[in-house]
Amino acid sequence: MADVHSYIDTHRERFLGELIELLRIPSISADPAHKADVERAAQWLLAHLRALGLEAELWPTEGHPVVYGQWLGAPEGPTVLCYGHYDVQPPDPLDLWQSPPFEPTIRDGRLYARGASDDKGQLFTHLKALEAYLRTEGRLPVNVKFLIEGEEEVGSRNLLPVLEKQRDRLRADVVLISDTAMFGPEEPSITYALRGLCYLEIELEGPNRDLHSGVYGGAVDNPALILARMLAALHDAYGRVTVPGFYDRVRPLDEAERRMLRQLPFDEEAYKRDLGLEALWGEIGYTPLERATARPALDVNGLWGGYQGPGAKTVLPARAGAKLSARLVPDQRSEEIAALITAHLQRLCPPTARLTVRRLHGGEPVLVPLDHPALQAAARACEYVFGRKPYFVREGGSIPVVAAFDEVLGLKSVLLGFGLNTDAIHSPNEHFRLENFRRGIHTIAAFWREVARGN
């Protein structure tokens, strides 16, 4: 009987072929035109889980379905709830892709496709570790439950009621998620914090129609300028957010944690070079890594108003708008921050325009206690595969359901991801290194063994 780890290496080409099949399905959750493709990806996974030997089913939601599967053949062992998402971000701008986003292509030891790293490729590490156990030892060291959703990239709104409704079936000891990055290709990392998100769309309405800027300019306030003034007022000269109350619930970083973060091999020069920037910006008193992961932030994600076509048009626009998002840290709450930002914008808005604020999706921040035994199991698994101890890192991005796992199911999450920050997730030419895929599968297999062993 082959050993689990040699099975993984022997079958890696086939694993890759299967992942490529899944990546060909354009399961773009944000785009209604792709609804059938999202459904097809769910069906593909359902069939795959069943073929691996799991009891699996689709759970319909108001939006895209959830794929659920379980293998419960280790009654004496712990139960790991494995979460991933099969939906992907829209691929645009298409012309910047070197190979089409849904025609997976291997170049330079990397698999290029939308979803290769976020999250189909990472989710696949769990499926293939499972296969390796079932096809060699015939069993796993732990019970596993798979919960794979199709709406992570649009905020997981419909997953929350599923957690409530399926509370009993989702009973577990810990959650395992591979949807985050390693600090570097040789630097395995365990993420112990994610930022939350509060997303708003704002619109300003001025005059009842677009006006000739020569006839009215100077006498009528311009919504695009009002918007610019309001947005510019959201930060002070020290990079701090000016919204009253914004920082009230922010848990301060303690010295021990700051020391740990400073020990990470973060190369500020390389960071700037990679982004084509001469200088960075941010909240006074914090390092760039702290600003991007452990402190809250407020950004403009989109901005419109007035004429956007070629050439000049002398117009004073009737409307202007923006999309804003705040990244939150414990113990900020998305709803409260939305109210604070809205109130502040109302105060900033002059009587020359009418402001409307709409709340889009949100998610709460999370912090996993560093002494949780499953994090220690994950650390041993990293050491087994990479030959070195992992870094413990905070992640600036969000996975909205993670806080809900804690709040609704009482479960902590182990965020053991194999992507790299250079994988271009959400961007053109997203890719996943084949070596990260391979080592990811080994690490998940080792994690289950370690978690079963306990401490």
Catalytic residues: 87, 152
Residue with nearest beta carbon to ligand BES: 397
Please identify, among the stretches 49-57, 116-124, 219-227, 364-372, the one whose residues bind Zn ion according to the rule CB under 5 A. 116-124
Name which of 11 and 361 has its Cβ closer to ligand BES. Answer: 361
Name which of 85 and 442 has its Cβ closer to Zn ion. Answer: 85
- Residue 284 tokens read as 């006074």
Name which of 376 and 429 has its Cβ closer to Zn ion. Answer: 429
Q: In 263-417, which residue ranges form alpha helices assigned H by DSSP?
A: 268-275, 288-293, 334-348, 373-386, 401-409
Asked whether position 323 contacts ligand BES by CB under 6 A, the answer is no
Asked whether position 365 contacts ligand BES by CB under 6 A, the answer is no
Closest distance of CB 326 from ligand BES, Å: 12
Q: Of residues 56, 181, 193, 379, which one binds ligand BES by CB under 6 A?
A: 181
CA distance 305 to 186: 46
| Full DSSP string of 241-302 | B-STTTTTTPPPPPHHHHHHHHTS---HHHHHHHHT-S-----TTS-HHHHHHTS-EEEEEE
Asked whether position 363 contacts ligand BES by CB under 6 A, the answer is yes
| Residue 399 interaction partner, one of Zn ion, ligand BES, none, beta carbon < 5-8 Å per kind | ligand BES
Asked whether position 430 contacts Zn ion by CB under 5 A, the answer is no
Asked whether position 151 contacts Zn ion by CB under 5 A, the answer is no
CA distance 216 to 450: 71
Closest distance of CB 32 from ligand BES, Å: 17
Q: Tell me which residues in 386-445 interact with ligand BES (CB under 6 A).
A: 395, 397-400
Asked whether position 264 contacts ligand BES by CB under 6 A, the answer is no
Query: Are 420 and 433 in contact, with CB atoms under 8 Å apart?
Result: yes
Asked whether position 395 contacts Zn ion by CB under 5 A, the answer is no
CA distance 246 to 182: 30
Please identify, among the stretches 152-160, 161-169, 348-356, 384-392, the one whose residues bind ligand BES according to the rule CB under 6 A. 152-160
Tell me, by CB under 6 A, how many residues bind ligand BES.
16
- The residue among 276, 274, 280 whose CA lies nearest residue 421 is 274
Closest distance of CB 307 from ligand BES, Å: 30
Q: Tell me which residues in 96-135 interact with ligand BES (CB under 6 A).
A: 118-119
Tell me, by CB under 5 A, how many residues bind Zn ion.
1
Positive or negative, the Cα torsion across 445, 446, 449, 455?
negative
Please identify, among the stretches 134-142, 175-183, 340-348, 433-441, the one whose residues bind ligand BES according to the rule CB under 6 A. 175-183
Strand partners, 202: 322, 357
CA distance 183 to 177: 16
Burial state string for 133-154 with b = 16 or more CB within 10 A and e = fewer than 16: bbebeeebbbbbbbbbbbbbbb
- Residue 378 tokens read as 């994950």
CA distance 132 to 126: 10
Closest distance of CB 152 from ligand BES, Å: 5
- The residue among 425, 421, 401 whose CA lies nearest residue 413 is 401
| Residue 26 interaction partner, one of ligand BES, Zn ion, none, beta carbon < 5-8 Å per kind | none
Q: Of residues 152, 364, 430, 450, which one binds ligand BES by CB under 6 A?
A: 152
CA distance 52 to 46: 10
Q: Tell me which residues in 15-34 interact with Zn ion (CB under 5 A).
A: none
Name which of 328 and 377 has its Cβ closer to ligand BES. Answer: 328
Q: Of residues 42, 113, 197, 294, which one binds ligand BES by CB under 6 A?
A: 197
Closest distance of CB 399 from ligand BES, Å: 5
Q: Tell me which residues in 117-136 interact with Zn ion (CB under 5 A).
A: 118
Q: Are strands 391-395 and 315-316 parallel, antiparallel or unpaired?
A: unpaired
Question: Torsion-angle region of residue 10: left (phi > 0), alpha (psi -120 to 50) or beta?
Answer: alpha
- Residue 221 tokens read as 């306030």
3-state secondary structure of 319: strand
Which residues contact Zn ion by CB under 5 A? 118
Which residues contact ligand BES by CB under 6 A? 118-119, 152-153, 155, 179-181, 197, 361, 363, 395, 397-400
